[in-house]
Amino acid sequence: MSGMEMMSETLLKPIKAGLIGAGIQASLTPAMHMKEGRAQGLSYEYDLIDLDQLGASIDDLPRLLSEAEERGFSGLNITHPCKQAVMPHLDELSADARSIGAVNTVVLKDGRRYGHNTDWWGFAQSFRRGLPGVDTSFVVQLGAGGAGVATAYAALSLGAAKLAVFDREQQRAIALSRSMQEIFPDAQITAGGDLVEAMQRASGLIHATPTGMSGYPGLPLPADLLDRRHWVGEIVYFPLETELLRQARQRGCPTLDGGGMAVFQAVGAFQLFTGLQPDANRMLDHFKSMTA
């Protein structure tokens, strides 16, 4: 077989991937992966493995992982409520997944399962593009759940000097601040107590809760705490224009919507699944066309 024939056979070999999570029927991830796969000359299949649709739970993860392996999947994306629960069922973890304590991407290769986290990288890449050069001396973050862990790791990786984490469950904020302090000993990381005082001192705000999503309308903090000196980074992308971003823009704040994080986590996962470098700008354009 010639080199050209071998290359052709490789490109035509189907790539199979999927997303495991609950309530994921509206996810845009399959469309992003499959369209980029076609653009790269791949036969790319991407399935939704929805726990709600299957009547399944996190207890079924061992079976679902095994079934994906039996079907020849190259990998799986993992979302709520499985990002922590999947970890004991993997053979190896990347350094960032281990530090963050959550996995959103599993590579299945040679009978082994490799856990990665592309959420933090996705937020960091989006931040670099969307808010270049902003002041990260004192960042307030709302939310200490799975997404909040990733955005905190990203903010500190980008050089945030101080990070104050707020969450309705104070113990989650305390746990996140302690775990990040171990990883980033030179930063000052606290579980916030007085949001008004923190926002008066803050240079920027990261929002990492579901508030603002279609099913959770409203604002995650009083709008009058926002000031034009703040930049505002959002993780919600359904809708892309949240009430928080609308209020921030009215006050002249530089803003970052949640679309970039969604796209760049997919960019990272695509590369892990296929070994190919995706075209990030093309994936961003496709995402924007689906959310316009």
Write the DSSP assignment of 92-118 as a string of letters: EE-HHHHHHT--SEEEEETTEEEEE--
C-alpha span between 135 and 196 (Å, rounded): 19
Buried/exposed 120-153: b ≥16 CB within 10 Å, e otherwise: bbbbbbbbeebbeebebebbbbbbbbbbbbbbbb
For residue 119, CA distances in Å to 9, 146, 185, 197, 202 come to 32, 10, 22, 29, 24
Exactly one of 13, 16, 35, 83 is catalytic; name it. Answer: 83
C-alpha span between 127 and 255 (Å, rounded): 10
Residue 175: name the closest of 194, 155, 190, 156 by CA.
190
Q: CB–CB of 102/122 below 8 Å?
A: no
- Tokens 């399959």, residue located: 30
Q: Clarify whether 83 is annotated catalytic.
A: yes
For the annotated catalytic residues, the residue numbers are 83
